[in-house]
Amino acid sequence: MKKLYIVFMLIFISSCDDGDLQIESLDFNDVDIETCSTIDIAQANTLFKINDDEALILILGADVLQQEEGTITVEMTSSTSSTIIYRLFSDTVTSDYFCDDIPPSTPTVLDEITATEATITITTTSTGTVDVPEYEHYIELTSITLETSTDQRITDLSIDEYGTITTN
């Protein structure tokens, strides 16, 4: 009996509570990037990816995208103009939710978590001509830290291929 008591105590002590954490991983690598309007490098741009009942929103600050070849890295913190937001919805969400002037009443947002830190890497290549300049911006998100309203942290999440957008 004493041995059984010790086994139960070990199980009880080693168990943990993950609370109400609903995010186990962010799986947006195979989802296309969307936007509601033409990308303007002089303004903030909202890009989003929808995966059924969840969305990953990337707001790039004005002048983050450049029309010259190269790679830039933005270390996102609470003081930068770029933001990453994860939303969990009550049902499947569509781009209408983000693009309509007045969002539809359903689905509703169950949880919204803003990243406190992340690394945004943008590799820009020229794909146009001298007469018609065009640039492709390949975006990667790494080292994402999400902090929930109950102070639970999810770190080191990676969206290896957030997507490619084109500006001209």
pTM for the full predicted model:
0.80
> What pLDDT, in 10s, does the model give residues 15-63?
444 444 455 567 788 899 999 989 998 999 999 999 999 999 999 999 8
Whether residue 129 is contained in a domain is answered as yes
Would 11 be classed as within a structural domain? no
Residue 60: inside a domain = yes
With cut-offs at 50, 70 and 90, classify the pLDDT of residue 8.
very low
Classify residue 69: in a domain, yes or no: yes
Residue 20 lies in a domain: no
Structural domains in the chain (count): 1
Residue 8 lies in a domain: no
For residue 47, what are the domain limits?
Answer: 25-167
In a domain, 14, yes or no: no
- Structural domain contains residue 18: no
Lowest mean pLDDT among 15-19, 79-83, 115-119: 15-19
Q: List, as one string, the DSSP characters of the chain.
A: -HHHHHHHHHHHHH----TT---S----TTS--B-SS---TTS-EEEEEEETTEEEEEEEPTT-S-SSSEEEEEEE-TTSS-EEEEEEESS---THHHHSSS--S-SPEEEEEEEEEEEEEEEEEE-S-SSS--EEEEEEEEEEEEE-TT--EEEEEEEEEEEEEEE-
Mind listing the pLDDT tens digit for each residue in 87-97? 999 999 999 99
Measure CA 113 to chain center.
Answer: 10
